[in-house]
Amino acid sequence: MENLIIVESPTKARTLSRFLGDKYKIEASMGHVRDLPKSKIGVDVENNFEPQYVIPRDKRKIVERLKDVAGKVGKVILATDPDREGEAIAWHVSQIAESKKQKLDKFNRIVFHEITKEAVESALKNPRTIDLKLVDAQQARRILDRLVGYKLSPLLWFKVRRGLSAGRVQSVALRLIVEREREIEAFKPEEYWSIEALLRKVSKVAKGSKVAQDKESFSAFLVQRDGEKIEIKNKKEADSIVKDLESSEYKVEKVEKREVKRSPYPPYTTSTLTQNAANHFGWTSKKTMKIAQDLYEEGLITYHRTDSFNIAQTAIEAVRGFIQETYGNKYLPVKPNFYKTKSKVAQEAHESIRPTNVRVQTSDSKDQKAGISEDLGRDHHKLYEMVWKRFVSCQMSNALFEQTSVDIKAKVYLFRATGSEVIFDGWLRVGNGLKVIGDSEEEKEGQKLPTLTVDEILDLLELLPDQHFTEPPPRYTEASLIKTLEKYGIGRPSTYAPIISTILERQYVEKENRAILPTPIGVAVSDFLVKNFPKVIEVKFTARMEDNLDEIADGKKEWVPVIKEFYVPFSAHLAQVSKEADRVKIEVEKTDEKCDQGHALVVRYGPYGKFLACEKYPEHKFTKPFETEEWKKKEEELEKLKMKCPKCGSEVVLKKSRRGRIFYGCSSYPKCKWGSWKLPSPPVDNKPIV
pLDDT in tens, 625-647: 776 666 666 776 777 667 788 88
Asked if 289 and 277 count as a contact pair (C-beta separation under 8 A), the reply is no
416 forms beta bridges with: 221, 407
Distance CA 223, CA 219 (A): 13
Strands 209-225 and 228-229: antiparallel
Distance (Å, whole) CA 332 – CA 327: 8
Q: How confident is the model at residue 368 (pLDDT cuts 50, 70, 90)?
A: very low
Query: Residue 348: pLDDT above 50?
Result: no
Contact criterion met (CB below 8 Å) for 624 and 643: no
pLDDT value of position 167 = 92
| Residue pair 4/106 in contact by the 8 Å Cβ criterion | no
CB 327 within 8 A of CB 45: no
Residue 552 CA to residue 134 CA, distance in Å, equals 7
pLDDT for 206? 47
Neighbouring-strand partners of residue 399: 262
Catalytic residue among 303, 413, 496, 605: 303
Coil, strand or helix: which one is 438? coil
At 456 the three-state DSSP class reads coil
pLDDT per residue over 321-335, tens digit each?
A: 999 999 999 999 999
Looking at residue 45, its amino acid is V
Cα separation, 198 vs 466, in Å, equals 13
Inter-residue contact 547 to 141 (CB < 8 Å): no
Give pLDDT tens digits for 483-493: 999 999 998 89
CB atoms within 10 A of CB 53: 17
Percent with pLDDT over 90 in the chain: 70
Q: How far apart are CA 225 and CA 417, in angstroms?
A: 16
pLDDT of residue 364: 45
Is residue 434 scored above 50 in pLDDT?
no
Q: What's the Rg (C-alpha) of the chain?
A: 31
- Give the CA count within 13 Å in the CB-facing half-sphere of 409: 13
Q: Return the SS3 of 334.
A: coil
Tell me 312's DSSP state: -
Q: How many CB atoms lie within 10 A of CB 606?
A: 13
Relative to beta strand 107-109, strand 76-78 is parallel
pLDDT at 439: 60
Amino acid 212: pLDDT = 45
**CATH superfamily placement of domain 270-397:** Topoisomerase I, domain 4 (1.10.290.10)
pLDDT digits (tens, 9 = 90+) for 71-94: 888 899 999 999 999 999 999 999
Q: Are strands 43-44 and 50-51 parallel, antiparallel or unpaired?
A: antiparallel
Fold of 3-130: Rossmann fold (3.40.50)
Write the CB contacts of 431 (distance below 8 Å, at least 6 apart in sequence): 389, 393, 437
Average pLDDT, the chain: 88
Asked whether the predicted pLDDT for residue 104 surpasses 60, the reply is no
User: Average pLDDT in the 378-397 region?
Assistant: 95
Instruction: Give the single-character DSSP code of 434.
Output: T
Q: How many CA atoms lie within 13 A of 382 on its CB side?
A: 14
Q: How far apart are the first and last CA of the chain?
A: 55
Report the alpha-carbon distance of residue 400 to residue 538 in Å, rounded: 44
- Which residue, 622, 591, 633, 628, is CA-closest to 609? 628
Q: Average pLDDT, stretch 536-542?
A: 93
CA dihedral for 480, 481, 482, 488, sign (positive or negative): positive
27, 31, 32, 37 alpha-carbon torsion, rounded to 10°: -130
Q: Which of 59-68, 108-117, 495-504, 596-605 has the lowest mean pLDDT?
A: 596-605
Collapsed DSSP state (helix, strand, coil) of residue 479: helix
* 488 classed as catalytic: no
Q: Parallel, antiparallel, or unpaired for β 589-594 and 600-606?
A: antiparallel
Residue 21 exposed, middle or buried by CB count within 10 Å (0-12, 13-18, 19+): exposed
124 touches 112 (CB < 8 A): no
Is the pLDDT at 370 greater than 80? The verdict is: no
Length of the chain: 690
CB atoms within 10 A of CB 685: 4
At 643-680, the pLDDT tens digits run 788 888 888 888 776 555 678 888 888 888 888 877 76
Q: Which of 166-175, 309-318, 458-467, 587-596 has the lowest mean pLDDT?
A: 587-596
Average pLDDT over residues 451-460: 95
Q: 108: which strand partners?
A: 77
Distance CA 552, CA 565 (A): 14
Superfamily of domain 139-187+474-580: Topoisomerase I, domain 2 (1.10.460.10)
Kindly list the domain boundaries of the chain, sorted by start residue: 3-130, 139-187+474-580, 191-263+400-469, 270-397, 588-626, 632-690
Contact residues for 592 (Cβ-Cβ < 8 A; gap 6+)? none
CA distance linking residue 402 with residue 385, whole number of Å: 30
Q: Is residue 623 pLDDT above 50, yes or no?
A: yes
Q: Is the pLDDT of residue 442 over 60?
A: no
pLDDT tops 60 at residue 524: yes
| Domain 191-263+400-469 fold | Topoisomerase I; domain 3 (2.70.20)
pLDDT of 690 over the 60 cut: no
| Lowest model confidence (mean pLDDT) among 53-57, 312-316, 490-494, 561-565 | 490-494
